[in-house]
């Protein structure tokens, strides 16, 4: 550079990338070129990011906009509501059965989560900490169970619940097995327990704690993030489950869950896309709310499944 | 022990027995669950696959007739297997490419990171039935906003879930919308790549592609492998979205639980798990349903074995020595 111009001086001070383009008129020298490349890079990345965000967010926006349209407008294919009929949501809640579906979903997801976490803790602890013959086999069987499509065993299982125990038409055939160790939760929790330093457990033993007391007083409090992740995943699994309720609760509308009932909602209101979209948002809402309250536990869980080990 | 001919002292044996009992006690929920809800139904599935059983009369032994029927005569077996394999190949591959792309993008974003991450992640949380209902609406050829916009732009709009050729690609699009799980996994893996390696590569004059190929890729392959295997396993179970999309797009006004030919349009969304349901719970052909279940089981176990062999990161390192 032969002369020092005002703009060159100015450009050495840090500034937001967007403002640079206007001041950098004489674009010479490697430093200026590098800055320009960084700016172009910033623009390119964020242009792609905005395009991607549109792909992810627009479906929610269209669903929301349609959910407040009047019955007539919802059939028109227009994008923007003429009037905002929030009363559509009240109509959805007044639909016969809708509140029962909520209740059933909460029962299934609540009890299911409780049972799953309760039964997974001792099993995961044994698999993470005890040395015994067949430990590797047990781990392989847990993973094999995890990989098994639920449809493989559903027919004989249904026959047992329906013909021997007479519990079809309710959600109990889905809830009861969760008290007997869910493979995915055991696996996830075990991965987490492995990260707890052995010294804490040794210290508890030195203090005279038995295995059960060590587990309850030392390990469980330390494993709270892992437990939260397992509980969240299980809650979401139950909330989203369609196959299970379809097998066991289909015959009895009083046992339907939200995920299952939503489909019948659409068929009952076949032309009323506005009400169906309102119901759809109402099914999504709890999951999204839970997510915002428990974001950290969630990310912890996702990382455990993939990255650890 | 000093000499192997000596029996272990009684105290040691007692302690060992106690340890064994303790292990069994801790494992008991799973031991019961595994036997009752996994081993038993699996054996029963094999048993029923050799039986004629309509769930009312007593089961009747028919040898290999169910197997022959499903594998050679049943008209829907071919389309169902084809659709499942199509989805396993196309959906898993595209999800990984797209997930990696979004993961990379997220690591590069410098402004409004929180907004972008949440926006990319949120659709993954949408319950599958709700997401499918939403997509059937968005893509419906009559009043759907997507075709409305395409029409306004003068782009020929397909019939999506109502066109046999477009139904599966529409399902793939729905699965790409919920890419959040892969995004988080890939993002974590990408952030774990040591920065010094990039700097070293830059000093050697490597461009963006060479940096990705020689620095990023080798260090994320275990995670990609993990994503492939779990993706294949999940896609073999692919059920809810395909079923709901087919049912809703067909426009048949019947409640759930009623008998409809699955896989609308023209069996293009019929997957193997749907066929199991249809055989076992709509046609009450228990034998054929169990045969199909076992076919699914064999494929799933083959993939799982491959996973154990390839060590895609599921079994932590310390286990391999046990």
Q: Is residue A216 in some structural domain?
A: yes
pLDDT at residue B264, rounded to an integer: 85
pTM for this prediction: 0.86
- B145's tokens: 């906003």
Q: Is residue A73 in some structural domain?
A: no
The answer to whether residue B233 neighbours chain A at the CB level (below 8 Å) is yes
Contact A63, A78 (CB under 8 A): no
pLDDT at residue B322, rounded to an integer: 30
CATH of the domain at A223: 1.10.3720.10
Contact A32, A11 (CB under 8 A): yes
Q: Is residue A74 in some structural domain?
A: no
- Which top CATH class is B76-315? mainly alpha
pLDDT at residue B316, rounded to an integer: 44
φ and ψ of A76, to 5 deg: -90, -20
- Please compute, for residue B203, the number of CA atoms within 13 A of its CA located in the half-sphere on the CB side: 6
- B30's tokens: 């799973």
DSSP lists the bridge partners of residue B51 as: B61
pLDDT at residue B223, rounded to an integer: 86
- Are the Cβ atoms of B27 and A154 closer than 8 angstroms? no
Q: Mapped to the 3 state alphabet, what secondary structure does B244-257 carry? A: HHHHHHHCCCCCCC
Q: Is A185 found in the same domain as A39?
A: no
Task: Tell me if residue B113 falls in helix, strand or coil.
Answer: helix
| CA-CA-CA-CA dihedral for A203, A209, A211, A216, to nearest 10 | -90
Q: Is A261 found in the same domain as A201?
A: yes
- A37's tokens: 């490349």
Q: Is residue A87 in some structural domain?
A: no
pLDDT at residue A16, rounded to an integer: 45
Per-residue pLDDT of chain A (309 residues; tens, 9 = 90+): 333 334 443 334 444 444 444 444 555 688 888 899 889 999 999 999 999 999 999 999 999 999 999 888 887 878 888 888 899 999 888 888 889 999 999 999 999 999 999 999 999 999 998 888 889 899 989 988 888 888 889 999 999 999 999 998 999 999 999 999 899 899 989 988 888 888 888 888 888 888 888 888 888 988 888 898 889 889 999 999 999 999 999 889 999 999 999 887 877 776 688 899 999 999 998 888 888 887 776 666 666 655 433
Q: Is A176 found in the same domain as A54?
A: no
Q: Is A107 found in the same domain as A61?
A: no
- Are the Cβ atoms of B226 and A242 closer than 8 angstroms? no
- Among A67, A85, A105, the domain boundary falls at A67
| CA-CA-CA-CA dihedral for A200, A205, A209, A211, to nearest 10 | 80
The pLDDT tens digits of the residues spanning A225-261 come to 889 888 988 999 999 999 999 999 988 999 999 999 9
Q: Where are the domains of chain B?
A: 12-66, 76-315
pLDDT at residue B168, rounded to an integer: 96
Mention every residue, 6+ apart, whose C-beta is less than 8 A from residue A45. Answer: B105, B108, B109, B110
Residue of A nearest to B116 (CA): A53
φ and ψ of B60, to 5 deg: -135, 125
- Among A30, A50, A67, the domain boundary falls at A67
- Are the Cβ atoms of A283 and B130 closer than 8 angstroms? yes
Contact B80, B270 (CB under 8 A): yes
Burial B175-188 (b: 16+ CB within 10 A, else e): bbbbbbbbbbbbbb
DSSP for B128-161? HHHHHHHHHHHT-TTT-HHHHHHHHTTPPPP-GG
Q: Is A208 found in the same domain as A165?
A: yes
Q: Is A288 found in the same domain as A234?
A: yes
Q: What ranges in chain B are assigned the alpha helix state H?
A: 10-34, 40-48, 65-68, 77-86, 92-108, 113-125, 128-138, 145-152, 167-177, 180-191, 195-203, 208-211, 217-236, 240-250, 272-277, 286-310
Q: Is residue A34 in some structural domain?
A: yes
DSSP lists the bridge partners of residue B52 as: B60
Contact B208, B80 (CB under 8 A): no
Q: Rounded distance, CA A75 to CA A89, Å?
A: 18
Which chain B residues contact residue A53 at CB under 8 A? 115-116, 119-120
The answer to whether residue A300 neighbours chain B at the CB level (below 8 Å) is no
Q: Is A151 found in the same domain as A244?
A: yes
Q: Is A247 found in the same domain as A135?
A: yes
Q: Rounded distance, CA A121 to CA A115, Å?
A: 10
Q: Is A204 found in the same domain as A301?
A: yes
pLDDT at residue B259, rounded to an integer: 53
Q: Is A219 found in the same domain as A101?
A: yes
pLDDT at residue A228, rounded to an integer: 87
**Placement of tokens 């289909």 in the chain:** A250
Q: Is A168 found in the same domain as A19?
A: no
- Are the Cβ atoms of A153 and B315 closer than 8 angstroms? no
Closest in B25, B38, B189 to A145, CB measured: B38
Q: Is residue A155 in some structural domain?
A: yes
- Are the Cβ atoms of B105 and A155 closer than 8 angstroms? no
- State in Å, rounded, how far the first CA of chain B is from the last one: 22
- Supply the mean pLDDT for chain A: 84
Domain range spanning residue A18?
A: 6-67
Q: Is residue A88 in some structural domain?
A: no
ipTM higher than threshold 0.90: no
DSSP lists the bridge partners of residue B60 as: B52
- Are the Cβ atoms of A79 and B148 closer than 8 angstroms? yes
Task: Tell me if residue A212 falls in helix, strand or coil.
Answer: helix
Count of the separate structural domains present in chain A: 2
Per-residue pLDDT of chain B (322 residues; tens, 9 = 90+): 444 455 667 778 888 888 889 999 999 999 999 999 999 999 999 999 999 998 888 898 999 999 999 999 999 999 999 999 999 999 999 999 999 999 999 999 988 988 999 999 999 999 999 999 999 999 998 888 999 999 999 998 899 999 999 999 999 999 999 999 899 889 988 988 888 888 899 888 888 899 999 999 988 888 888 888 889 888 999 999 999 999 888 875 444 445 567 888 889 999 999 999 999 998 899 999 999 999 998 988 887 777 667 554 554 444 433 3
Residue of B nearest to A182 (CA): B30
């Amino acid at each position: 550079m032969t002369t020092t111009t005002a703009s060159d001086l100015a450009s050495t001070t840090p500034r937001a990338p967007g403002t640079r383009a206007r001041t950098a008129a004489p674009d010479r020298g490697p430093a200026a070129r590098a800055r320009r490349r960084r700016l172009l890079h910033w623009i390119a990345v964020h242009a792609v990011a905005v395009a991607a965000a549109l792909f992810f967010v627009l479906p929610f926006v269209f669903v929301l906009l349609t959910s407040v349209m009047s019955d007539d407008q919802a059939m028109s294919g227009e994008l923007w509501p003429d009037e905002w009929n929030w009363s559509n949501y009240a109509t959805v809640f007044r639909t016969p059965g809708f509140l029962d579906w909520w209740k059933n979903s909460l029962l299934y997801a609540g009890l299911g989560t409780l049972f799953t976490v309760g039964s997974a803790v001792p099993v995961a602890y044994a698999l993470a900490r005890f040395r015994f013959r067949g430990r590797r086999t047990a781990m392989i069987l847990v993973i094999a169970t995890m990989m098994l499509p639920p449809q493989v065993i559903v027919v004989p299982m249904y026959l047992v619940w329906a013909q021997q125990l007479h519990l079809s038409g309710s959600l109990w055939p889905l809830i009861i097995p969760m008290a007997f160790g869910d493979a995915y939760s055991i696996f996830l929790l075990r991965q987490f327990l492995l990260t707890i330093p052995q010294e804490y457990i040794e210290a508890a033993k030195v203090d005279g704690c038995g295995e059960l007391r060590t587990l309850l007083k030392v390990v469980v409090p330390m494993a709270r993030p892992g437990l939260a992740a397992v509980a969240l995943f299980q809650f979401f699994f139950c909330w989203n489950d369609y196959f299970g309720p379809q097998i066991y609760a289909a015959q009895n509308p009083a046992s339907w869950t939200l995920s299952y009932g939503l489909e019948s909602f659409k068929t009952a209101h076949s032309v009323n896309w506005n009400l169906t979209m309102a119901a759809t948002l109402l099914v999504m809402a709890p999951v999204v709310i839970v997510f915002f309250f428990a974001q950290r536990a969630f990310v912890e869980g996702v990382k455990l499944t993939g990255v650890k080990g | 022990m000093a000499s192997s001919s000596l029996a272990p002292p009684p105290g040691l044996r007692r302690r060992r027995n106690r340890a064994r009992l303790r292990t069994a006690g801790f494992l008991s929920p799973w031991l019961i669950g595994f036997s009752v809800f996994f081993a038993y139904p699996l054996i029963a599935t094999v048993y029923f696959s050799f039986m004629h059983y309509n769930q009312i009369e007593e089961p009747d032994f028919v040898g290999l007739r169910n197997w022959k029927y499903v594998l050679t005569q049943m008209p829907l077996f071919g389309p169902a297997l084809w659709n499942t394999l199509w989805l396993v190949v196309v959906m898993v591959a595209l999800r990984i490419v797209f997930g990696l792309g979004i993961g990379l993008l997220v690591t590069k974003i410098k402004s409004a990171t929180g907004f972008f991450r949440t926006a990319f992640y949120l659709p993954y949380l949408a319950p599958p039935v709700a997401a499918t209902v939403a997509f059937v609406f968005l893509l419906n050829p009559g009043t759907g906003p997507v075709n409305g916009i395409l029409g306004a732009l003068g782009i020929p709009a397909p019939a999506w879930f109502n066109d046999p050729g477009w139904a599966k690609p529409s399902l793939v699009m729905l699965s790409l919308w919920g890419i959040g799980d892969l995004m988080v996994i890939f993002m974590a893996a990408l952030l774990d790549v040591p920065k010094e390696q990039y700097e070293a590569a830059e000093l050697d004059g490597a461009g963006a592609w060479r940096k990705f190929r020689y620095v990023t890729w080798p260090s994320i392959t275990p995670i990609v492998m993990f994503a492939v295997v779990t993706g294949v396993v999940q896609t073999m179970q692919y059920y809810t979205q395909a079923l709901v999309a087919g049912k809703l797009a067909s426009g048949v006004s019947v409640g759930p639980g009623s008998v409809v030919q699955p896989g609308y349009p023209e069996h293009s969304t019929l997957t193997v798990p749907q066929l199991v349901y249809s055989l076992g719970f709509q046609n009450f052909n228990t034998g054929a349903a169990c045969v199909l279940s076992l076919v699914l089981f064999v494929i799933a176990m083959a993939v799982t074995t491959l996973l154990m062999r390839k060590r895609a990161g599921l079994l932590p390192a310390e286990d391999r020595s046990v």
